[in-house]
Amino acid sequence: MPEQEPRSVVIIGAGPVGCALATLLRRQGLEVDVFERGAESAGTGSGHSFNLTLTSRGLDCLPASVKRRLYLQGSVLVKRIIHHRDGAISTQPYGATNAHHLLSIPRGVLQDILRDQSLRAGARIHYGLTCVDVDPGRPAALLRSTDGTTTWVAGDLLVACDGANSAVRGAIATDHPAELWVDRDTIPHGYAEITMDYGDADPTGMHLWPRDDHFLQSQPNRDQTFTTSLFKPLAGGARHRHFSELTSPEQVRAHCAAEFPDVFVRMAGVGKDLTTRGPGLLRIVNCGPYHHRRAILVGDAAHAVVPFFGQGINCSFEDVATLARLLEKFQFASSGDSGPVAETVAEEYSDARVAAGHALAELSLRNFEELSNHVNSRSFLARRALEARLHEQHPDLFTPLYQLVAFTNVPYDVAQRVHREASEVLDAACRGRDPRRDQDAIIEEFVRHHDRDLTPARRRAG
């Protein structure tokens, strides 16, 4: 009998998600070709540089060897360090123990590690090729090279890892509008990097300056530099986009001196930083389902979320692990007729991931208020302290939302629902009581109500 050709997967986009997927698929013996529109030497993405925070949710989806390399290059952050308007500084741990931490890593470093791992695993990355159309049934992608010539490449499965503006998603939605809906939005806030000389600051936390409708965020790097970003409402049309009120270096300097007086002297170039390049846009893309025939959407191609929960890439790595698991479960690598298997895997993948992606979009948008405003508020902090104590005493009954989202693998939609239901019971227990003074009474009441009201709801959620 002739030996069967190895099953092949075409991946569009060699960003962090495409490379992570390529590594896992090579481990199953699949032939993997990744097509990337950028040049080999170029960075990927928008051109803005920022750090990504990984949490155990995303990290645990990657092979141990990749995780080890990321920990060698990233910074472990165990708390938020809040710089209040009056100059006071307070801290908030991310979870119940230091095991609950963020791993902050420059996007370019993460990208290099993941690309290197995929190449070592035997994936082929082809640069300078832009996907301009797809045929999801075959499945195949039409690629345009830098000299303008086009060519179709086909495989047994096509995976779009081409980011928020996915050409694959766009082509499917255009050709099959009844099969794939897409919702796109840009929020009124943008972001920009600021160069800040902050090397002597505490490197174990994420520094945050919450200022109502805007905030500054600074994350330590391993080389004692900090990556600092301003998130602020935008003004101006597409061509002349700038931050509201900040059109000249003088206005920028006056704004930063008033809003961030404790670090203003460390931002010598801020006037230039914020006026020579337009701020980056923050996009939300929701769509469904995450597949059509033998084409699958993974990472930002399926769900671009605003970065206020720091979970976009974590969710994307969960997509990657889910897809790899399903390909293994259905023995795609050794399937006789790959077509039906690929379609089954695509459907199951979509069923497993769509609700999670949509829930993360909502959670991420809502967390803007927490970063820019609530972390300053005494009532918010009292509620968080109450929740931490409740979790400490009854970890099986209540887990703070941040912890559920960042440090477990409970699907985002389930985490959202379970937390909403538990919060309603906690709200009721707080009624007429002061969360600062009456913690014991509130917790006692919560447990009574939880046993009575919430257990059936949790059973439903499970």
Ligand X SMILES: Cc1cc2nc3c(=O)[nH]c(=O)nc-3n(C[C@H](O)[C@H](O)[C@H](O)COP(=O)(O)OP(=O)(O)OC[C@H]3O[C@@H](n4cnc5c(N)ncnc54)[C@H](O)[C@@H]3O)c2cc1C
The binding site for ligand X (CB under 6 A) comprises 12-18, 35-38, 44-45, 50, 52-53, 130-131, 161-163, 167, 191, 299-301, 307, 310-314, 316
The closest alpha carbon to 287, from 415, 176, 169, 178, belongs to 169
Q: Which is nearer to ligand X, 9 or 131 (CB)?
A: 131
Distance of CA 314 to the CA centre of its chain: 5
Residue 132 CB, nearest distance to ligand X (Å)? 7
Q: Which is nearer to ligand X, 320 or 341 (CB)?
A: 320
With tokens 């109450």, the residue in question is 386
Query: 172 phi and psi, to 5 degrees?
Result: -65, -45
Q: Which is nearer to ligand X, 230 or 443 (CB)?
A: 230
Query: Could you tell me whether strands 75-77 and 8-12 are parallel, antiparallel, or unpaired per DSSP bridges?
Result: unpaired
The closest alpha carbon to 162, from 173, 170, 174, belongs to 170
Residue 361 CB, nearest distance to ligand X (Å)? 12
Q: How far apart are CA 289 and CA 350, in angstroms?
A: 6
The closest alpha carbon to 112, from 41, 59, 30, 39, belongs to 41
Q: Which is nearer to ligand X, 31 or 162 (CB)?
A: 162
Residue 319 CB, nearest distance to ligand X (Å)? 9
Tally of CA atoms within 13 A in the half-sphere of 257 that contains its CB? 10
Q: Which is nearer to ligand X, 49 or 379 (CB)?
A: 49
Q: Which is nearer to ligand X, 127 or 330 (CB)?
A: 127
Residue 393 CB, nearest distance to ligand X (Å)? 31
Element (H, E) at 284: strand 280-288
Longest Cα separation, the chain: 78
Q: How far apart are CA 91 and CA 112, in angstroms?
A: 32
Residue 456 CB, nearest distance to ligand X (Å)? 34
Looking at beta carbons, which residue is closest to ligand X? 15
The closest alpha carbon to 287, from 220, 353, 235, 240, belongs to 353
Residue 225 CB, nearest distance to ligand X (Å)? 17
Residue 21 CB, nearest distance to ligand X (Å)? 9
Q: Which is nearer to ligand X, 298 or 386 (CB)?
A: 298
The verdict on whether omega for the bond into residue 139 sits within 30 degrees of 0, i.e. cis, is yes
Residue 317 CB, nearest distance to ligand X (Å)? 8
Residue 280 CB, nearest distance to ligand X (Å)? 6
304 neighbors 186 (Cβ within 8 angstroms): no
Q: How far apart are CA 113 and CA 249, in angstroms?
A: 37
Q: Which is nearer to ligand X, 315 or 345 (CB)?
A: 315
Q: How far apart are CA 449 and CA 311, in angstroms?
A: 32
Q: Which is nearer to ligand X, 220 or 299 (CB)?
A: 299
Q: How far apart are CA 304 and CA 231, in angstroms?
A: 17
With tokens 């505490």, the residue in question is 202
